[in-house]
Amino acid sequence: MKNLNLSDEKLNHSASHVLAQAMQKLFPKAKLGIGPAIENGFYYDFDLDNKISEQDLEKISDEMTKIIEQDLPIISKEISINEAKELFESQPFKLELIDDLSLEGIKSVSVYYTGNKFFDLCKGPHLKSTGEIKALKLNSVAGAYWKGKETNKMLTRIYGAAFLSQKDMEKYLWRQEELKKRDHRKIGKDLDLFSIDPDVGPGLILWHPKLSIVREEIELYWRKEHRKRGYEYVYTPHVGIDNLWKTSGHLENYKESMYPEMKMPKKDKEEETKYYVKPMNCPFHIKIYKSRPRSYRELPLRWCELGTVYRYEESGVLHGMLRVRGFTQDDAHIICTESQFVEEINKVLDFALNLNSDFGFKELKVYLSVRGTKKADKYVGKVSSWEMAEKTLEEILKERKIKFEKDIGGAKFYGPAIDLKAVDPFGREWQGTTIQLDFNNPERFSMTYTGEDGKEHTPIMIHRTLLGAMERFIGTLIEMYEGAFPVWLSPQQVAVLPISEDQFKSADKIQKELSDTGIRSVLLSNQTLNSRIRQAQLEKIPYMLIIGKREVESKTVSLRLRTGKDKGEIKLTDFITLVKNKVKKKSII
RNA sequence: GCUGGCAUAGCUCAAUGGUAGAGCAAUCCCUUCGUAAGGGAGAGGUUGGGGGUUCAACUCCUCUUGCCAGCUCCA
């Protein structure tokens, strides 16, 4: 969660109190949960006897407006735990919160009054009066578990946002519209990039030809960069026998995320062989490692694979290409000695920063994912190894003077991680790179190498993805660029547009010449010129070449950019050089 | 998985109990055009699926599948 600035927090937090007050008036039996300010707004949770839907928001919003117009003062009062218990007698959730606070040893709590009828248990701070809220928008109704626990009661949550001026609200609404326009699911349909078919299965992506070009370009680049950095490619199967997953601990720790087993009867025997589709690639890479004895002289080993895995994610979390059930990780496992480990992590970090920058992600947020306190039994391996690893990763980040936040509870069951999240122009964060330590598998699989001392040692395994997964990464790119991919990734780079039939032949020749130099181009010759320009524009093709009588005579092409800019006449050879340059520099246009 | 909502032509949407309609796309015909939509014609649907209520269901009820928002979870 991002840090909120104080004025936004006061504003939205006060608005959430106004919402609660309005709800209590409209639904006197409503029990109040909590109502904090969040990034870009606020919410409040209620326990209601009745169902409410988005249609009710208007009514609630009107009630809130009345409270705002009364310009009620917001005043805090410090009271003792016992007084608080009396005051919130009829509010079971508040009583629970008071008990929690009391258990923490807190003796008094603050209560905020809005006018003299409404009060709420609250730390504050707040606006001085409701009249400071100048505009308001209720967005949605959703269910949310009390205290975020799946086993707790589900409350009704209402989301909204408050503003200090009408203008601020307009800006906010504009942003919402802008985000809707960039939704990769919409763009994916509009630009014929991908689809999801219920008959194939929810969360399984069908890559259409255009998006497959984007992926192919990324994969080519990815391979080249890995080769350059001393990685070797491996290929491994999509399924493995249950024994493998027993050894890896997946059947113990990860089974609910795995597709169910495939049972294969054995000939003349009663037992069956059970196969599982892989949710991770690690066990396979480990088996390659274990295919023969290893020496310290071979280490570090860096094995990478575009490994397709399947995870049976809960139906409610699926989201276009960003959260799917089948995805291809740009996976790698680095197997090294203890003394190589710090350097290897640093190399991976260098690689990751470089890669992110090449795709135009200039701003990154770094997280150190460590164990949480809640589900301590979820983590496998010795506590001492965990402490050591978390400390080492933290030191590496500090050494590099990288600013980072700790993501407490963000560690995988097998080890801590460094996660990089790309920040887009709208401030949204997209996880791609994750560098995870794994001290579960080397032990479980009894991975060893012979050291300089002639003795057996256990290697360290680093598990990492840089892009994350092809699906999520490319989905992110679609949102980031609003479907207008940088030139090197554009499914079509050039549209060739003859003005009339007289130039069809020349245009066709130009298109073939572009193809010969490896530039992806398409000849559009139906309909009017304007309609073809529109077509190329809507397809977000970076370059349009207009070929008319003039151009044929002077042996040039007229260049129009997808930005709408008319660059005038240019020689074809110069244009080819220009495109090649843009491709090389990975420019947007 | 949970809470709430949605599902009508390829797409975007209309029709609120009386046997489905528009624009765009696609198809065919005419048009050959100088920087974001040239004109015309015909076609396209057992209203996501099953069951029920009713003389009559896109419309009401119920089950189911998928999708959307959020919760929880995650590459």
Instruction: Give yes or no for a contact between A305 and A288, defined as CB atoms under 8 angstroms apart.
Output: no
Same domain, A418 and A512: no
Nucleotide with smallest C1' distance to residue A204 CA: B66
Mode of pairing for the β-strands spanning A31-32 and A118-121? unpaired
Nucleotide with smallest C1' distance to residue A556 CA: B34
Same domain, A163 and A238: no
How far is the C-alpha of A330 from the C-alpha of A495, rounded, in Å? 32
Measure, in angstroms, how far nucleotide B22 C1' is from residue A190 CA: 21
Measure, in angstroms, how far nucleotide B25 C1' is from residue A55 CA: 33
CATH number of the domain encompassing residue A226: 3.30.930.10
Count CB neighbours of A309 within 10 A.
18
Residue A239, domain member (yes or no): yes
Same domain, A105 and A145: yes
Measure, in angstroms, how far nucleotide B49 C1' is from residue A203 CA: 21
In this complex, which residue's CA is closest to the C1' atom of nucleotide B4?
A142
What amino acid occupies position A340?
Q
The answer to whether ipTM exceeds 0.90 is yes
Nucleotide with smallest C1' distance to residue A156 CA: B3
Nucleotide with smallest C1' distance to residue A558 CA: B35
Phi, psi of A548 (to 5 degrees): -120, -170
Q: Which nucleotides of B are covered by protein (CB under 7 A)?
A: 1-5, 11-12, 31-38, 65-75
Write out the DSSP string of A392-461. HHHHHHHHTT---EEEET-SBTTB-EEEEEEE-TTS-EEEEEEEEEE-SHHHHTT--EE-TTSSEEPPEE
Residue A190, domain member (yes or no): no
How far is the C-alpha of A202 from the C-alpha of A10, rounded, in Å? 41
SS3 assignment, position A573: helix
Same domain, A464 and A414: yes
Residue A449, domain member (yes or no): yes
Q: Which of A176, A207, A238 is the last residue of a domain?
A: A176
Same domain, A167 and A229: no
How far is the C-alpha of A435 from the C-alpha of A420, rounded, in Å? 9
Measure, in angstroms, how far nucleotide B39 C1' is from residue A501 CA: 19
Measure, in angstroms, how far nucleotide B2 C1' is from residue A149 CA: 11
Same domain, A156 and A221: no
SS3 content of chain A, % helix, strand, coil (to 5): 40, 30, 30
Tell me what pLDDT residue A588 has.
94
CATH number of the domain encompassing residue A508: 3.40.50.800
Instruction: Give yes or no for a contact between A439 and A335, defined as CB atoms under 8 angstroms apart.
Output: no
How far is the C-alpha of A430 from the C-alpha of A390, rounded, in Å? 23
> Can you list the residues of chain A whose pLDDT is less than 70?
1-4, 374-377
Q: Quick one: tokens of A412?
A: 């995988």
Q: Quick one: tokens of A401?
A: 């003077």
Range of the domain at A155: 6-176
Measure, in angstroms, how far nucleotide B45 C1' is from residue A319 CA: 29
SS3 assignment, position A317: helix
Residue A182, domain member (yes or no): no
Nucleotide with smallest C1' distance to residue A500 CA: B32
Instruction: Give yes or no for a contact between A409 and A378, defined as CB atoms under 8 angstroms apart.
Output: no
Nucleotide with smallest C1' distance to residue A317 CA: B73
Residue A183, domain member (yes or no): no
Same domain, A561 and A425: no
Residues contacting A273, CB < 8 A, separation 6+ = A241, A242, A263, A264, A266
Write out the DSSP string of A181-199. HH-HHHHHHHTT-EE--TT
Residues contacting A305, CB < 8 A, separation 6+ = A233, A234, A235, A236, A281, A285, A331, A332
Q: Which of A436, A464, A481 is the last residue of a domain?
A: A481
Same domain, A382 and A286: yes
In this complex, which residue's CA is closest to the C1' atom of nucleotide B66?
A198
Residues contacting A265, CB < 8 A, separation 6+ = A272
Nucleotide with smallest C1' distance to residue A144 CA: B71
Residue A185, domain member (yes or no): no
Q: Which of A439, A465, A481 is the last residue of a domain?
A: A481
Measure, in angstroms, how far nucleotide B13 C1' is from residue A202 CA: 26
CATH number of the domain encompassing residue A60: 3.30.980.10
Residue A207, domain member (yes or no): no
Looking at residue A55, the DSSP 8-state letter turns out to be G
How far is the C-alpha of A303 from the C-alpha of A288, rounded, in Å? 10
In this complex, which residue's CA is closest to the C1' atom of nucleotide B1?
A314
Tell me what pLDDT residue A48 has.
84
Measure, in angstroms, how far nucleotide B6 C1' is from residue A249 CA: 41
Same domain, A401 and A301: yes
Same domain, A349 and A398: yes
Measure, in angstroms, how far nucleotide B67 C1' is from residue A157 CA: 21
Phi, psi of A292 (to 5 degrees): -160, 165
Nucleotide with smallest C1' distance to residue A145 CA: B71
Residue A204, domain member (yes or no): no
Alpha-carbon distance values, A473 to A323, A345, A421, A453, A466 (Å) = 11, 22, 11, 44, 10
Nucleotide with smallest C1' distance to residue A469 CA: B75
What amino acid occupies position A133?
I
Measure, in angstroms, how far nucleotide B50 C1' is from residue A147 CA: 39
Same domain, A231 and A365: yes
The total of structural domains in chain A comes to 3
For chain A, what is the total number of helices (H) and then of strands (E)? 18, 28
Measure, in angstroms, how far nucleotide B3 C1' is from residue A296 CA: 55
Measure, in angstroms, how far nucleotide B60 C1' is from residue A172 CA: 40
Same domain, A90 and A172: yes
